[in-house]
Structure 1
Amino acid sequence: MTDSPQQTLADATAILSSALDGDSDAVVGTFDAVVDRAGLAGAYGVAWCLAATMVGDQVPEGACALDFPGIDQAGYDARWVARFVSAYANSDLDTAQALFGAAAADGLLPECLLTLAGSTVATLRHRAT
């Protein structure tokens, strides 16, 4: 069962609020509550919403290349976020779903989602300056 779009947005907002406050336990707790309520599909919806927030309104038509300096040396979670956000920017649902499933299968989804929340907050802060 998946959540309504309003519930997904409310969960993403709660996660961003917690991340802005630096409360990683609350971020993880909200994601856990989403999974308990709506399964991995619900968590995927929230992650997709965070990627949308990170990319913003300025997605060009056609293929999009995002610049992630040093990404090959980054940890699993940072590489995952870069690829997930790139999949979002390119409307590549198959890749996004495969990334999400792989992180879950590898047992690294919580770290990836926490990094996604932190990266989204960092992007929002950067835009505000």
Structure 2
Amino acid sequence: MTDLPQQTFDDATAVLRSALAGDGDAVVGRFDEVVDRSGLAGAYGVAWCLAATMVGDPGPPGSCALDFPGIEEAGYDARWVARFVSAYANRDADTGQALFGAAAADGLLPDCLLTLAGSTVATLRSRRD
């Protein structure tokens, strides 16, 4: 994670601040700015930072099993977040990139990134409580 540019961490922080404020338009707007500046690879880096915020330091590759009850009945964006976070937790960047590309190709990446930001905020709040 630490080999990402500082701008990626700054963008992830801005996304989290907007999500904490409940400003979904600002979350999507920040991701749009990142894509304009750094392409989808930049947005992927920010998303990976959000997954890292949720999971913390992952264990050895392939060692995590996350439980998402009822995930198959959830919407595309919620399933995407569960799989993306699982990919991060298992240090499986190839799967994370494939998921990211699939959501972009399906035209659902903004919804997925908004859900990821919201899930990250919910995780942070649950840790605080």
Q: TM-score, normalised to structure 2's length? A: 0.94
Matching residue's letter, 1:44: Y
Q: Aligned partners of 1:30, 1:60: CA distance in 2, in Å?
A: 30
Shift of 1:120: 0.2
Q: Aligned partners of 1:13, 1:64: CA distance in 2, in Å?
A: 26
Structure 1 segments of 4+ aligned residues over 4 angstroms from their partners? none
Aligned-residue identity in percent: 81
Matching residue's letter, 2:68: F
What does residue 55 of structure 1 align with?
Answer: 55
Residue by residue over 1:22-42, the C-alpha shift from the partner in whole angstroms, topping out at 9 and shown as x without a partner, is 000000000000000000000
Shift of 1:69: 1.0
Shift of 1:60: 3.0
- Matched position secondary structure for 1:127: helix
Matching residue's letter, 2:59: P
Answer whether contact 2:55 2:89 (CA < 8 A) is retained: yes
Shift of 1:125: 0.2
Unpaired runs of 5+ residues, structure 2, are none
Structural RMSD (CA): 1.0
Matching residue's letter, 1:23: D
Answer whether contact 2:80 2:112 (CA < 8 A) is retained: yes
Between Structure 1 and Structure 2, how many residues are aligned? Answer: 125
Counterparts in 2 of 1:1-129, with a 5 A limit? 5-57=5-57, 59-62=58-61, 63-129=63-129
Q: TM-score, normalised to structure 1's length? A: 0.94
Residue by residue over 1:46-100, the C-alpha shift from the partner in whole angstroms, topping out at 9 and shown as x without a partner, is 000000001013x333521001111010000000000000000000111101000
Q: Aligned partners of 2:92, 2:6: CA distance in 1, in Å?
A: 23
Matching residue's letter, 2:26: A
